[in-house]
Structures are given as C-alpha cells and as structure tokens.
Amino acid sequence: MIKILLIFTTLIVQQNNLKFDNETQNLEKAYFASGCFWCVESIYESLKGVKKVDSGYSGGFTKNPSYYEVISGKTGHAEVVEVVYDPNIIDFKTLVKVFFGSHDPTTLNRQGPDIGTQYRSIAFYNSKNEELIIKNEIKRLLKNNVFNKITTQVLPFKKFYKAENYHQDYKKKNPNDLYIIRVSAPRINEFKIDFKDILK
C-alpha cells in the first residue's frame, strides 16, 4: 500500500513539474530602463501576459553592483526591469509601445524628478528582430511628431543584476511612501488611461 502511494505521489510531482516546464519554456524576457524602477516595475506588472517583473541594474560595467553604487552614477548601470512574458499573449512590439508610452524619452539622463545616468532611457534587444522593432517604433514616433526628439539608447542586452529584495514590488509593499504617492502613482495612472485594453 505504501509503495503504491509513493508511486502515485511521484507521478503527481512529475506531472506538475512537466506542466511547470511547459509553461516556463514558452516565456521570454525583455529589458527596459525608463527612470525609477519602482515605477517601471508596476507598469509592466499590470499588463496581460506578463508573468513576472524584477527590478535591477544593467547597461554598465561594474559587476554585482549595489543600489548605492548605481545611484552614485559611477557604475555605468541604469535602473532596469526584467520583464518575463508570454509571447502568445503579449508580444515584444507591444512591450516596446508600452515603454515609449509610459515615460518621457526626450529627457537625457532624467525622468521626472530623478536626475542622473542611472535614470536614462534604454531599450535593450536580444536579437536583430527586437532591435529592428525598437528602431522602427522610434522612427514611427518621430515621423508622427509624437516626440520632437528621442534620447533613448538602443543597446544589445548583456547582463542583468537583480536589485536588493527591498526594491522588489516596492510600490505594492510601500503604498504610503511619499515618492510612490507623488511620482509613481500619477505616472502609472496616466499610463493606464492610454493602455487600458491590455491591462490585467
């Protein structure tokens, strides 16, 4: 009887692991920098098809940087989010549209009250196709006079360093933080007006 239960339990675990593997192997990752990652994280977490978003650092030269090293502006890194998404529900092109539609890409090394290279606008790509999608969107926005200039860097993705735990889901955990109330919440609410059709 015990042997049968063990076999049954093993089969259930294997089945669950197989289901998890099938779900995760279809997911893809995208990387964006557009100011404080507390704001950007919440924006992408609100989208249908996005499974997970982590805040971190990328685009620089220092290995395993800390938050205080990054905000010093001496690591070359920007505050970046890693977006894990299901391409069958939301595609990279839509993620790029959200990127340009949820921040001001005309301000060099600045986003709202946050100033410094760590807050610069960057769209990273993992393939030539993704690079083309980003550059085509920039051309479209300029052609249609949505922006008169765009300072966004278009860079190949190299390495993502996940930020300290207290930065993850910061807006959810700290709704009464003055920065969240005065900066993040208004930015996110404005974004949701224009992208309500793809929100969870």
List, by residue number, the catalytic residues.
36
Shortest CA distance to 33 belongs to which of 125, 136, 146?
125
| Count of CA atoms in the C-beta half-sphere (13 A) of 144 | 7
H helix or E strand, kind and range, residue 189: helix 185-194
Taking CA atoms, 152 is separated from 76, 89, 100, 127, 173, in Å, by: 15, 26, 9, 18, 30
- The kind and range of the H/E element at 83 are strand 78-85
Q: How far is Cα of residue 106 from the mean position of the Cα atoms in its chain?
A: 19
Distance, CA of 105 to CA of 34 (rounded, Å): 8
Three-state secondary-structure class, residue 73: coil
* 53: phi then psi, degrees, rounded to nearest 5: -135, 130
